[in-house]
Amino acid sequence: MSGEAIVSGEATEPPTFHCGFAALVGRPNVGKSTLLNALVGEKLSIVTPRPQTTRHRIVGVRTDAEAQIAFVDTPGLHSGARRALNRAMNRTAAAALAEADLCVLVLEALRWTAEDAQVLERIERSGRPAVAAINKTDRVRPRALLLPYLAEVGRRFAFREIVPVSALKGHNLEPLVRAIGQNLPLAPPLFPEAQRSERGPSFRIAETIREKLTLELNQELPYGIAVEIERLVEEDGQLNVSAAIWVEREGQKPIVIGAGGERLKRVGRSARLELNRLLGQRLHLELWVKVRKGWADNARALKQLGLE
């Protein structure tokens, strides 16, 4: 954001600065969280190859001379959610869509599934303008397949713009940022220029631990893991953290801990290394695996974990 833009807005010229919320919506696993991180230039949202990794609404703010965009990463909208956790995730995604000034439909290049169609229907019903981000273009071979795909997407909805990108490689992000910014309302910035996130260290620590655990466990444990920070104190510039890893059944405990505690140690080590970098601070992590029967089906447990 440039100070001049605002000053000239206050003078006789009409305002030219755009600001608003852009919700990243799409089915699970299309790359919404990777895209948020790439657009904001900081890892705010965790990413794994597993669908339904994102559980919370995560806002990442990007400010430049023309616009301030508050990107909202959401859990993927998915159909047939039975568990309380999954219903809560769908509600979070729907609420983000409802409060957005603009939707960014994230699609996987060359793919169009029934779930994509359902998400597009929700955008249509919301009445919000939308931009399409065609992600994972780095995987498109031969490249000539991309153009007809873009044309096909353009026939499905009157998108303000359709922009092919690779969130992973950081390809073509500037045109996407411009398309989004220009389609936000004319308004002064909502956030201080330097602010990128609205989540504090405790949330980011819990999420990073959950990311490393999910990567480590791979297919062994479906959904039943939550991380709760039980203690966070700063001593001599170091963050001392005690975190509970909640599993749903007694039998899952040894899976998370691993033989001789090796698995939990690896998770702790990689979370600590990444958090040292992310937070710019030294960290001491203690991880405790605990059982809370069926927490993912329990509304009260979800509320306590900040998942409603």
Residues forming the site for ligand GDP (CB under 6 A): 26, 28-34, 47, 49, 53-54, 76, 135-136, 138-139, 166-168
Residue 28 interacting partner from Mg ion, ligand GDP, none (CB closer than 5 to 8 Å by kind): ligand GDP
Q: How far apart are the first and last CA of the chain?
A: 34
Number of residues that bind Mg ion (CB under 5 A): 3
The two structure tokens encoding residue 206: 């819990």
Closest CA to 93 of 128, 131, 52: 52
Query: Do 129 and 183 form a contact (C-beta atoms < 8 A)?
Result: yes
Residue 168 CB neighbours (<10 A)? 16
Where do we find the tokens 């009157």? 158
**Choices 2-10, 18-26, 52-60, 62-70; region in contact with Mg ion by CB under 5 A:** 52-60
Our CB check for ligand GDP shows the closer of 176 and 244 to be: 176
Minimal distance in Å, beta carbon 36 to Mg ion?
Answer: 8
Using CB atoms within 10 A of its CB, is residue 176 exposed (0-12), middle (13-18) or buried (19+)?
buried
Minimal distance in Å, beta carbon 53 to Mg ion?
Answer: 5
Our CB check for ligand GDP shows the closer of 75 and 189 to be: 75
25/126 Cα distance (integer angstroms): 12
Q: Which of 37, 48, 54, 135 binds Mg ion (CB under 5 A)?
A: 54
Query: Do 127 and 106 form a contact (C-beta atoms < 8 A)?
Result: no
Residue 20 interacting partner from Mg ion, ligand GDP, none (CB closer than 5 to 8 Å by kind): none
Pair type for strands 58-63 and 18-25: unpaired
Minimal distance in Å, beta carbon 7 to ligand GDP?
Answer: 38
Q: Which residue is nearest to ligand GDP (CB)?
A: 31
Residue 34 interacting partner from ligand GDP, Mg ion, none (CB closer than 5 to 8 Å by kind): ligand GDP
Query: Do 229 and 205 form a contact (C-beta atoms < 8 A)?
Result: yes
Our CB check for Mg ion shows the closer of 93 and 267 to be: 93
* CB-based contacts of 168, cutoff 8 Å, min separation 6: 31, 34, 38, 136, 138
Our CB check for ligand GDP shows the closer of 100 and 257 to be: 100
Minimal distance in Å, beta carbon 230 to ligand GDP?
Answer: 27
Minimal distance in Å, beta carbon 46 to ligand GDP?
Answer: 8
Residue 92 lies near Mg ion (rule: CB under 5 A): no
39/31 Cα distance (integer angstroms): 12
- Of 8-47, binders to Mg ion (CB under 5 A) are 32-33
Contacts to Mg ion by CB under 5 A: 32-33, 54
